[in-house]
Structure formats: structure tokens, C-alpha cells
Amino acid sequence: MLPACLRASAVPATPTGVRSSVPAWVLASGLDQPDDLAFHDGVVYVGQLGSGRVAGVVPGSPPVQSTWTVPVAEGIGFVGSTMFVASQGDDSVKVIVSDQPRTLLQLQPVAGKDNVDGIGVQGDQLLVPDSPNGTLLWVDGSGRITRSVGGFNRPTGAWPLPDGSVLVADEYGNAAFRVAPDGSRTALVQNLPIVDDVAADPQGHVFVVTPVVSGGRLAELVDGRAVDLAGGLLEPQGLGFDGAANVLVAESAAGRLDLFIRSFKLVPLAQPPAAGQPVCLDLVRAPGFTGSVELNGPNGVEVIRQPGTTNQGEVLLHPDLCQQRGCPVTASSGDRTDTLWITR
């Protein structure tokens, strides 16, 4: 008979001073002016303006800093497993090869204006807002510009949509646009001061951040209006989603990465269980989220009890069958997933 499961959940801190209509966590603090971000393979990658490094963040673990730097790390994107980073300091896009940055695309700076900012990925093409020149570029893996759409004030973020359209944040245009495949554009919001980044979840809900130093906003765009999900943010910059469509935001002036829970999230553990000791896995649900959640994992993870519509499940780990990194436990509800790595 198995012993009772170990209760070792450690709910992350709430971001100080932030008002939110959903549960909010600090995933990482002490970052050096965090800016744009990308969620890839269960890790949140955050560009840091101060250090020029990219930090990799998983809940419950300290950030892992890149060994390399670029001059002012901004946007991050992945094509397959290859990372690309926008380097604002020298107005270029770098590709990371053998853990070293190489210049893929060199842009033309404009005196008195900030250089390239956020980037995105559409299929095998990079979406590169040539910010000082007011143009959105499509760039292939060789660094060749295959398409461009101009007429923006200062585009700083680009997000692909399933129909081939692209969302564009026009920072000093105080607007967000949807650019259709034929190049036509529709304003999603206007007269919203400093729209720095824009992103859409898999259900089509569109969010923006406005990086005011105090009183920054994370808002959903609804019928041309910005409806706050969170306020009181300290210069919010990067914006994205985890696998469960929870919102990720980098607060540049606070040096932290925040998570806003819109569905569910597995709670990190303060300590791993001893051999043969089941562990309780708690999850936090957003208000109104009642979907059934199921746990699964590789051969090293035995599910003892499913959460279902409750807030807790139970697993038993067999560390000898897990990867060196630990045992991954994945929680799923419909097309939403969240993975927690449990160290041995």
C-alpha cells in the first residue's frame, strides 16, 4: 500500500502592486530589464535589454542565462529548434548557431530612433518589424526579405494568425492592426497610448500591453476597446502565452516575468518526493474554468489519481526511467496543456 502523497506545492508570489482579475504569479525576478519573450517547448525565453542575454524560465526553477550576449536583446522567435534574437543595439536579427549569435539580417538604423524591437514567426519565415522605418518584413532562413508592408508609425510587435494574417503593434501609432494576407489592414484598437506588443491566444482572443512606467496595462481587445486583464504593471513589454493559454508578461521596470492564469496551471513543488513516495500535484484554476484536467507522463510517471474537475491529482515517480532533467508531468484539458518538471 502506498503512503499518503507528499504535499510540497509552493505557489509562486503574486506580483506586488499589480491589479488582476485572474490569479497572477511571478515566474522570475531579478531580470535585467526584461523585454520581449517567446514560449517554446515548455520554456519561457526572455530577452534582457540590460545584459543582452536571454533567460530561460520554467516555473519553480531559477532562470538559466544564455552564455552569449547580443547588443540589447529584444524579440525572440523559433523556427523549429533554431532561436532568432532581435538585437536592438546594432539593428540586426541574430541566429543562434552552436550557442553563438550570428547576424542573419542587418537593417538600416535611423538617427534618433530606436532600432528593431519584437519579432515573430509565421511558418518558416520571421516577422521582423523594421521599427524605425515603419515597415513589417517577412524574412526567410537565409536572411532574404521576401515581402514587406509599410505605412506604420513604429511597429514593435508581430503575431501570426491561423488564416495567414498578422497582428501588428504600432507603438507610437497608439494602435494595433490586423494585416490580411493581401496586405490590407484593419485597426483593432486606436488612440491607446504606447501599444508595444500584441498577441492572440489559440481561441482568437487578442491582447496588448502598454508599457507606461507606472500604471502599465495588459488588456484584451474587444470590439475596438481595451478591456484590462491587469493594471498597475511596471513598464510591461513582452507578451505571449504558455501551453494552457495563460498570459505571460515581462515587466521591464520591475525586472520580473509574470503569469496571468486564464485556464489552469500546475503548482511547482518546493521539494522532490523521496523514492516510493507519491506526490500531490495541485493546480490553480482561473475563475469560471471548470474543465476536466488529466495528468500524463512518460514511463517514469505513474498517475495514481487524476484531478478531473478538482484541484489536485497524485503521481508516483520512477526516477530511474526519467530523463536526466527530471520527470515531466503534463496536465491537459482540451487543447490546453501545462507541463511541470519534477527533479529527481
Residue 15 lies in a domain: no
**Structural Rg of the chain based on CA atoms:** 20
Pick from 342, 273, 267, 246: nearest CA to 311: 267
Cα separation, 203 vs 24, whole angstroms: 21
pLDDT at 68 over 90: yes
Q: Out of 260, 278, 310, pick the residue that ends a domain.
A: 260
| Amino acid 344: pLDDT | 67
Question: Residue 317: phi, psi to the nearest 5?
Answer: -95, 145
pLDDT tens-place string over residues 111-145? 999 999 999 999 999 999 999 999 999 999 999 99
Residue 7 lies in a domain: no
> Do 232 and 291 belong to one domain?
no
Cα separation, 333 vs 263, whole angstroms: 9
> Do 205 and 159 belong to one domain?
yes
CATH number, position 302: 2.60.40
**pTM, two decimal places:** 0.96
97 in Cβ contact with 88 (< 8 Å): no
Residue 18 lies in a domain: no
> Do 93 and 203 belong to one domain?
yes
Question: What percentage of the chain reaches a pLDDT higher than 70?
Answer: 99
> Do 136 and 228 belong to one domain?
yes
> Do 34 and 179 belong to one domain?
yes
Give, as one character, the DSSP assignment of residue 96: E
> Do 170 and 302 belong to one domain?
no
> Do 135 and 213 belong to one domain?
yes
Residue 80 structural domain: 24-260
> Do 163 and 183 belong to one domain?
yes
pLDDT at 290 over 90: yes
Cα separation, 89 vs 109, whole angstroms: 10
Weakest-pLDDT range from 2-6, 73-77, 132-136: 2-6
Q: Out of 260, 291, 321, pick the residue that ends a domain.
A: 260
Which of the four pLDDT bands, split at 50, 70 and 90, describes residue 279?
very high
pLDDT at 65 over 90: yes
Cα separation, 144 vs 155, whole angstroms: 20
Q: How many domains does the chain have?
A: 2
> Do 181 and 321 belong to one domain?
no
Residue 12 lies in a domain: no
The mean predicted confidence, pLDDT, of the chain is 96
Pick from 151, 77, 157: nearest CA to 117: 157
| Amino acid 132: pLDDT | 96
| Amino acid 323: pLDDT | 67
Q: Out of 260, 292, 325, pick the residue that ends a domain.
A: 260
Sheet order of strands, 24-28 included: 24-28, 256-260, 247-251, 236-241
pLDDT at 81 over 80: yes
> Do 76 and 159 belong to one domain?
yes
CATH number, position 149: 2.120.10.30
Residue 16 lies in a domain: no
> Do 97 and 207 belong to one domain?
yes
Residue 78 lies in a domain: yes
Residue 221 lies in a domain: yes
pLDDT at 73 over 80: yes
> Do 72 and 213 belong to one domain?
yes
Residue 56 lies in a domain: yes
